Structure 1
């Protein structure tokens, strides 16, 4: 038991450091939780969302303070984002974990190829 929290802490610390360097921390956190720590996909996605929401709120506030937020677009996007998030969460609770992993894996592969092609 004592070593388990150290592995989890080390993984979270590593993801945090890589995120600070500009690597997608949320994606890394999902991969670490599912592949290294053996956490179920839905649980890992929920934990990832809990990590993301405060960071996103702070980033939005800072960008707004600097004048980088187009408020009319934000007012349009927020309701649709909430609807999409609720619908996605509802769908994810009823889908088998293996069915969630495949599209996510494909998404990661496509995103990686796109990053390589663009550079």
Structure 2
């Protein structure tokens, strides 16, 4: 196994998605796509890795966002509470689903998000 196929490509993908995560673009989603399509990992395994990846990536970006005033502190508790609850329910549901169905649902989700970004209403600057 060459160095490139062994660890260099995953390292580069992790670095690129880390930068995107820092910008708030959703690098974890791209990492999930890489792991399932190019690296050949099972969807459930890729989701678990993605969750572990997100924790340090998010915590690393948080101080910069706090410093620049990009965090609405009054919304933290309700958002975190709802996020934890929904993450627990969704992870329970995802582990109960067949991998093929889970991949199809994730693909549909990505298509819907892409369409909403392409054709969604443009917000006017105030």
TM-score (norm 1): 0.79
Equivalents in 2 of 1:64, 1:47: separation in Å?
26
Q: Is the 8 A contact 2:32 2:50 kept in 1?
A: yes
In the alignment, structure 2 segments of 5+ residues that lack a partner are none
- The reply on whether 1:45 has 2:47 as its aligned counterpart is yes
> What residue number does 2:33 align with?
31
What corresponds to 1:95 in structure 2? Answer: 97
User: Where does structure 1 lack aligned partners over 5 or more consecutive residues?
Assistant: none
Q: Are 1:9 and 2:8 matched, yes or no? A: yes
Structure 1 position 32, deviation (Å) = 1.4
Name the SS of the counterpart of 1:39 in structure 2. coil
Change (3 A) 1:64 1:45: same
How many pairs does the alignment contain? 118
1:17 shift after superposition: 2.9
Q: Secondary structure at the match of 1:77?
A: helix
Q: Say whether the 8 Å CA contact 2:17–2:28 is kept in structure 1.
A: no
Q: Give the C-alpha shift of residue 85 in structure 1.
A: 1.1
